[in-house]
Amino acid sequence: MVTRADVARLAGVSTGTVSHVLTGARSIRPETRRKVLDAMEQLGYTPNAMASALAGGRSRIIAIVFPSQPRTIVGSDLEYVLAATEAARRRGYHVVLWTSGADDLNELRQLVRAGLVQGFLLMQVAMSDERVRFLRSAGIPVGLIGRTRAPGHVPFADADFEQIARLVVDHLAGLGHRTIGMLNAPYERGTRGIGAAVRFADAVRRTCEERKLGCTIVESQHTVRAGREALRELLEAAPGTTGVISYNWEATLGAMHEARALGRPIPERLSLVLCSNGEPESTDPELTTATPPATEIATAAVEALIDHLAAPEAEPAQRLVPSVLVERHSTAPAPGS
Amino acid sequence: MVTRADVARLAGVSTGTVSHVLTGARSIRPETRRKVLDAMEQLGYTPNAMASALAGGRSRIIAIVFPSQPRTIVGSDLEYVLAATEAARRRGYHVVLWTSGADDLNELRQLVRAGLVQGFLLMQVAMSDERVRFLRSAGIPVGLIGRTRAPGHVPFADADFEQIARLVVDHLAGLGHRTIGMLNAPYERGTRGIGAAVRFADAVRRTCEERKLGCTIVESQHTVRAGREALRELLEAAPGTTGVISYNWEATLGAMHEARALGRPIPERLSLVLCSNGEPESTDPELTTATPPATEIATAAVEALIDHLAAPEAEPAQRLVPSVLVERHSTAPAPGS
DNA sequence: TTGAAAGCGCTAACAA
DNA sequence: TTGTTAGCGCTTTCAA
């Protein structure tokens, strides 16, 4: 194994100098730097992560945490995980995926005490999230993908649901739709995306009110069948609905199915916009979307957390990431407009 | 921070003794053990993972690796990740999710050189997987979820596709189906589950031959639309098909859709069995399944790898995990039988 | 701009 | 059965 001492010896400098070349923490004579870099190159040196973690008190590892309660991580969550992993790597950090076995928040604290993990990135953040409270009060760094009702000084990145609601409602209104429906993700506490579901529903409702449009919201579990039932329920509650906003990919599949069965083909007799991550191009017709930009959100959240790790006293970054509307073939002018 | 020295002092023993109480590596007088455990309890001691990794030369971290090429981790893959994470934790290991940015196998070697990771668990293993060759030749411990064509002495756990094929084909044959179709995952190199797709297709084909049943295999991308097209293609190629085996969850959704559109309602005029992980209870009708037991496979693979880490010379564990058939409502007697 | 050296907290070999 | 101690490879302070 090649160690820092080997490099220092070959370069004819001290190990401290080698360290500083690596971290750039103090100015080095260009000539010295060259010698050191050459020596590292020549020896095929790789720094030992454990030694530097021990000596420096920083593991350069953060953990992504999913709630343990509903064991539902769906495909789209993975996009966040992957993006976060890569964003962390670009900053020289590693990511571990943590899924609390029980609701054992103490386990999380242990990870930090063990020096394994420097901080946590929480996914599926609830409006009022006990994990945030617990970790904050234990003095453990936390970042959010999503946000709580009152995020205070916690670094986070989330979709800008207000903006998405405007984007989508205006798109439908522009096509002449006057009665909007929404197929939401489940609201109930502990469920995937709960905070997001609440905020998005609020945003849609408010936007519709401002535009003087009808608005009916139903929720659906993340299954195809639930989606069918939810659409039926929606159209029974508000038969005049011609434009539907979905925040539930699996339910969307069921709704498309059901729309056809009910003689409301998409887009001729019912317009549909998907606002959750999914596979909009795999359906028939392809779905018009305005989805949360998962990669960008995850990246921003990771950077916010890592910056916060470096400067705990500074005001943490809090970002709402806007989306764009992509028109495909599931929206059309309202019937008879 | 509470260190081992604090515990030793309070317990009135040496730090070495504390270590041994923790690892159980040598026999300790029960009385001494008690004192030590009490002291740890009293002080709220948590061992420092970095220090023990550095001193012991073992990080107790393994990495799960997905191929970088097709960036397709789907929902069902997550089941493996979660199960592996928990199995590792039960053995005192942590798991990091690694997704190579480029096809940079060197990056993997770096992780080991840096002492961060002790070994790799590879997912989506191809029939001939260069990752395995590379890591093995670099002397790095590898375990597989899945298997290569010739796994040699690599620890692995995989679904017993021969057994699953028999289970499913016999189920359909028992219902009077004489012409079987298969909706496979994509075969082509580098794609998700490729090795598995090849082996499962082979097993189904062979079993059908033995039972003197017709057998047509089509493959489909992992999208709903591709599934619709694949079913149509299948029924055009073999119009007499009455029983379909699917190894592709997303495509199954499309196929169910298409079956109805073609006037072949499930299960009355077409039986369908799902053999990949998915959500069989969310469709209408609910799907009869014989799916790879993801949790058990991942757990077995993790244990095989960890055992291998401990005893590199020993013969590694290699397990084929059988499945069970769960009858729901997507299979019925063949029409006219 | 650089070097020397004292740890970081733990493991494990050796001694008792 | 238990204690002592020399590292593990790196960071960082203090001096030069």
The arithmetic mean of pLDDT across residues A221-241, rounded, is 94
A161-289 maps to CATH 3.30.360.10: no
B283 in contact with A, Cβ within 8 Å: yes
User: What one-character DSSP code corresponds to residue B261?
Assistant: H
The side-by-side arrangement of strands in the sheet containing A214-219 is A214-219, A179-184, A243-246, A271-274, A288-289
Interface test with B, best of A62, A116, A258 (most B CBs within 10 A): A116
Q: Return the number of other C-beta atoms located less than 10 Å from residue A237's C-beta.
A: 12
Domain span(s) for CATH 3.40.50.2300 in chain B? 61-159+295-321, 161-289
The arithmetic mean of pLDDT across residues A18-29, rounded, is 86
CA-to-CA distance for B154 and B318, rounded, in angstroms? Answer: 8
CA-to-CA distance for A78 and B268, rounded, in angstroms? Answer: 37
Is the confidence at residue A67, as pLDDT, over 80? no
Does B51 contact strand C, using a CB cutoff of 7 Å? Answer: yes
Interface test with B, best of A224, A282, A295 (most B CBs within 10 A): A282
Looking at chain A, which residue has its C-alpha nearest residue B251? A282
What Cα–Cα distance (Å) separates residue B86 from each residue in A290, B61, B95, B96? 35, 13, 9, 12
Three-state DSSP state, B207 = helix
Q: Return the number of other C-beta atoms located less than 10 Å from residue B101's C-beta.
A: 11
Lowest mean pLDDT among A41-55, A57-71, A273-287: A57-71
Output B18-24 pairs: Cβ under 8 A, ≥24 positions apart: B22/B47
> Residue B114, CA: closest nucleotide via C1'?
D9
CA-based angle B233:B239:B244, to the nearest 5?
70
Tell the residue number behind the tokens 């989805």, with chain if given.
Answer: A291
> What per-residue confidence (pLDDT) applies to B23?
83
Q: Return the number of other C-beta atoms located less than 10 Å from residue B186's C-beta.
A: 20
> Among B283, B218, B210, which residue's Cα sits nearest to residue B245?
B218
CB contact under 8 A, B85 and A99: yes
Strands, E assignment, chain A: 61-66, 94-99, 119-122, 142-145, 156-159, 179-184, 214-219, 243-246, 271-274, 288-289, 318-321
Q: Which two tokens stand for residue A243?
A: 């434009």
Q: Which two tokens stand for residue B226?
A: 């591709």
Q: Which helix (H) or strand (E) holds B77?
A: helix B75-90
Three-state DSSP state, B147 = coil
Three-state DSSP state, B113 = helix
Inter-residue contact B301 to B307 (CB < 8 Å)? no
Q: Which two tokens stand for residue A214?
A: 């009808």
Is the confidence at residue A48, as pLDDT, over 90? yes
Inter-residue contact A331 to A323 (CB < 8 Å)? no
Q: Which two tokens stand for residue A233?
A: 């329920």
Inter-residue contact B118 to B63 (CB < 8 Å)? no
The 10s digit of each residue's pLDDT in A69-113 is 554 556 667 788 889 988 998 998 988 877 665 557 888 898 999
Is the confidence at residue A60, as pLDDT, over 90? yes
Does B17 contact strand C, using a CB cutoff of 7 Å? Answer: no
> What per-residue confidence (pLDDT) applies to B114?
93
> Residue A11, CA: closest nucleotide via C1'?
C2
Three-state DSSP state, B55 = helix
Interface test with A, best of B6, B78, B81, B252 (most A CBs within 10 A): B78
CB contact under 8 A, B50 and A47: no
The arithmetic mean of pLDDT across residues A179-201, rounded, is 81
The arithmetic mean of pLDDT across residues A205-231, rounded, is 94
Residues of B (120-179) whose Cβ lies below 8 Å from A:
none
> What per-residue confidence (pLDDT) applies to B102?
52
CA-to-CA distance for B311 and A300, rounded, in angstroms? Answer: 42
Residues of A (69-88) whose Cβ lies below 8 Å from B:
71, 73-75, 77-78, 81-82, 85-86
The arithmetic mean of pLDDT across residues A154-181, rounded, is 98
Whether residue B70 has a cis bond before it, omega within 30° of 0: no
The residues, any chain, with a CB within 8 Å of residue B241's CB and separated by 6 or more, are B179, B180, B181, B214, B216, B234, B235, B270
CB contact under 8 A, A225 and B282: yes
Residue with minimal CA–C1' distance to C8 is A55
CA-to-CA distance for B307 and B171, rounded, in angstroms? Answer: 37
CB contact under 8 A, A47 and B86: no
Domain span(s) for CATH 1.10.260.40 in chain A? 4-45
Looking at chain B, which residue has its C-alpha nearest residue A56? B50
- Domain at A61-159+295-321: CATH code: 3.40.50.2300
CA-to-CA distance for B217 and B122, rounded, in angstroms? Answer: 27
Is the confidence at residue A128, as pLDDT, over 90? no
Tell the residue number behind the tokens 């998962």, with chain if given.
Answer: A294
CA-to-CA distance for B242 and B3, rounded, in angstroms? Answer: 68
The arithmetic mean of pLDDT across residues A230-256, rounded, is 96
> Among A2, A100, B288, which residue's Cα sits nearest to residue A15?
A2
Residues in chain B with pLDDT values less than 50: 71
Looking at chain B, which residue has its C-alpha nearest residue A76? B75
CA-based angle B219:B319:B89, to the nearest 5?
100
Does A17 contact strand C, using a CB cutoff of 7 Å? Answer: yes
The 10s digit of each residue's pLDDT in A276-332 is 988 898 888 999 999 999 999 999 999 999 999 999 889 999 999 999 999 999 999
The 10s digit of each residue's pLDDT in A291-300 is 999 999 999 9
> What per-residue confidence (pLDDT) applies to A72?
55
Q: Return the number of other C-beta atoms located less than 10 Å from residue B209's C-beta.
A: 11
Does B13 contact strand C, using a CB cutoff of 7 Å? Answer: no
> What per-residue confidence (pLDDT) applies to B272?
98
Q: pTM to 2 decimals? A: 0.85
> Residue A23, CA: closest nucleotide via C1'?
D11
> What per-residue confidence (pLDDT) applies to A222?
84
Q: Which two tokens stand for residue B57?
A: 């030369």
Output B141-144 pairs: Cβ under 8 A, ≥24 positions apart: B141/B305, B141/B308, B141/B309, B141/B312, B142/B305, B143/B62, B143/B119, B143/B301, B143/B302, B143/B304, B143/B305, B143/B308, B143/B316, B144/B301
- The bases of strand D with some atom under 7 A from any protein CB are 1-5, 7-13
What Cα–Cα distance (Å) separates residue A82 from each residue in A67, B78, B294? 18, 12, 21
Return the CATH architecture of domain B4-45: Orthogonal Bundle (1.10)
Chain A closest-CA separation from residue B243 CA (Å): 23
> What per-residue confidence (pLDDT) applies to A186?
87
Whether residue B267 has a cis bond before it, omega within 30° of 0: yes
> What per-residue confidence (pLDDT) applies to B73?
55
Burial class (CB in 10 A: 0-12, 13-18, 19+), B330: buried
